[in-house]
């Protein structure tokens, strides 16, 4: 009886061992490899989330800076004169000089220099009057909403009269470039 029961037990044990080995090779090990890959991916995703979380303050600050920039652009667009309004602006500048108590001795506009989205309108002015009047005029230029740069400023005392000064200045005003401007492009899209 030992031989048939040994044989019977081998008949049961060998297929069971083969089934167990097949299960380990074809089911358990592939599942373990898949679990390992998923754990690696999960670790990488966790690191990505940790890095992304550290970027949140930078993203918020960038959003605030972008909002400030958009506000500045809107202000710029509202204050930037168009080519049509340049004569009004030049008139306001010369009126401002006269109201400040200065006499305009020279006013020479130069050709407009076009850039990508804006254009430069340059002109030279010669003025005479007292230094406080000149200061008042320069202050009025600074308070105008348009972007006005004083490119060159020379002040001299031409004679023995201590109150009168002579001033030569080059002024640059940035205006809308009608050929390639956001203002024109936006109005065409409406």
pLDDT for 102? 93
Q: In this predicted model, what pLDDT tens digit does every residue of 6-38 receive, in sequence order?
A: 777 778 888 888 888 888 888 888 888 989 999
User: In percent, how much of the chain has pLDDT > 90?
Assistant: 28
Q: How do beta strands 113-114 and 103-109 pair? A: unpaired
pLDDT for 189? 44
Q: Which 3-state string (H, E, C) describes the chain?
A: CHHHHHHHHHHHHHHHHHHHHHHHHHHHHHHHHHHHHHHHHHHHHHHHHHHHHHHHHHHHHHHHHHHHHHHHHHHHHHHCCCHHHHHHHHHHHHHHHHHCCCEEEEEEECCCEECCCEEEEEEEEEEEEEHHHHHHHHHHHHHCCCCEEEEEEEEECCCCCCCEEEEEEEEEEEEECCCCCHHHHHHHHC
Instruction: Tell me what the mean pLDDT of segment 40-66 comes to.
Output: 88
On the 0-12 / 13-18 / 19+ scale of CB atoms within 10 A, 125 is: buried
Residue with the larger pLDDT of the pair 136 and 83: 136
- The region of weakest confidence among 116-120, 163-167, 180-184 is 180-184
Instruction: Tell me what the mean pLDDT of segment 41-69 comes to.
Output: 88
* Domain ranges for the chain: 1-79, 83-183
Q: Tell me the pLDDT band of 177, cut-offs 50, 70 and 90.
A: confident
Bridge partners of residue 119, in order along the sequence:
114, 175
Which superfamily does 83-183 belong to? Ribosomal protein S6/Translation elongation factor EF1B (3.30.70.60)
Q: Which residue has the tokens 């074809």?
A: 26
Q: What is the mean pLDDT of the chain?
A: 83
CA dist 141 and 167 (Å) reads 15
pTM for the model: 0.56
pLDDT for 180? 55
Q: Tell me the pLDDT band of 153, cut-offs 50, 70 and 90.
A: very high
CA dist 171 and 179 (Å) reads 23
Q: Tell me the pLDDT band of 188, cut-offs 50, 70 and 90.
A: very low
pLDDT for 100? 92
At residue 5, does pLDDT exceed 80? Answer: no
pLDDT for 97? 93
CA dist 100 and 128 (Å) reads 11
pLDDT for 4? 65
Instruction: Tell me what the mean pLDDT of segment 137-154 comes to.
Output: 89
Q: What is the dihedral of CA 171, 172, 178, 182, to 10 degrees?
A: -140
């Amino acid at each position: 009886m030992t031989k048939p029961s040994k044989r019977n037990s081998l008949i049961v044990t060998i297929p069971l061992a083969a089934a167990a080995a097949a299960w380990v090779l074809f089911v358990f090990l592939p599942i373990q490899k898949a679990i390992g890959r998923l754990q690696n991916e999960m670790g990488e995703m966790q690191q990505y989330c940790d890095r992304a979380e550290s970027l949140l303050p930078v993203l918020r600050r960038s959003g605030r800076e972008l909002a400030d920039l958009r506000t500045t652009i809107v202000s710029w667009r509202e204050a930037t004169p168009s080519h049509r309004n340049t004569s009004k602006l030049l008139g306001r500048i010369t009126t401002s000089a006269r109201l400040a108590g200065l006499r305009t001795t020279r006013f020479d506009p130069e050709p407009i220099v076009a850039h990508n989205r804006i254009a430069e309108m340059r002109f030279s002015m010669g003025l005479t009057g007292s230094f406080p009047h000149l200061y008042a005029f320069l202050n009025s230029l600074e308070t105008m909403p348009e972007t006005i740069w004083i490119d060159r400023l020379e002040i001299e005392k031409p004679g023995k009269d201590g109150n009168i000064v002579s001033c030569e200045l080059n002024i640059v005003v940035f205006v809308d470039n009608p050929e390639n401007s956001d203002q024109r492009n936006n109005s065409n899209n409406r």
